[in-house]
Structure 1
Amino acid sequence: MTTGVRFPSCVQCGTHSNPCRCKVVGPTLGFVAFVVAAVIEWPIGAVVYIFKHTKGRRIMGHPATVVYPKVSRSIPI
């Protein structure tokens, strides 16, 4: 019996950006970039939210609305 570390991956099927119509690398790297950006931006957004609600929401939403889609779209496989 072997135990191994499994690497979590994200799969997006039904895309037309490559012949296989499935993406694995782009969504997975997009998720990693999302997590890194969220760890940095969510605490900052929470502090800004105390004073400026709209600006704080926009900062906290940045990883989901900008970072993940940009990275996921830039890698076609």
Structure 2
Amino acid sequence: MGFPICVQCGTGSNPCRCKVVGPTVGFLAMAAAAVVEWPVGAVVYIFKHVKGRRIMAHPATVVYPKVNKAIPI
């Protein structure tokens, strides 16, 4: 198993129009957040369905986009 590499082409954030570092680091940050937030969200989901879904979606909807946009290459 190798290191995950994510490529995003067609972006306007740099002159090359492709990003490799931002999406890859964003994916790793999302995976790290998901390890913590998905089990917590599953427990919360038992009592509060909407809140549990929001917690479980947080890595994909907040963490990944913020990290990806923060690194322009």
Structure-2-length-normalised TM-score: 0.96
Mapped partners of 1:26, 1:47: distance in 2: 31
Any stretches of 5+ residues in structure 1 without a counterpart? none
Aligned to 1:41: 37
Mapped partners of 1:6, 1:41: distance in 2: 25
Q: Please tell me the root mean square deviation across aligned C-alpha atoms, in Å.
A: 1.0
Any stretches of 5+ residues in structure 2 without a counterpart? none
Q: Select which of 21, 28, 31 maps to 2:24.
A: 28
Mapped partners of 1:43, 1:54: distance in 2: 15
Deviations 1:19-63, CA, capped at 9 Å, x for gaps: 000000000000000000000000000000000000000000000
Dislocated runs of 4+, deviation >3 Å = none
Identity %: 78
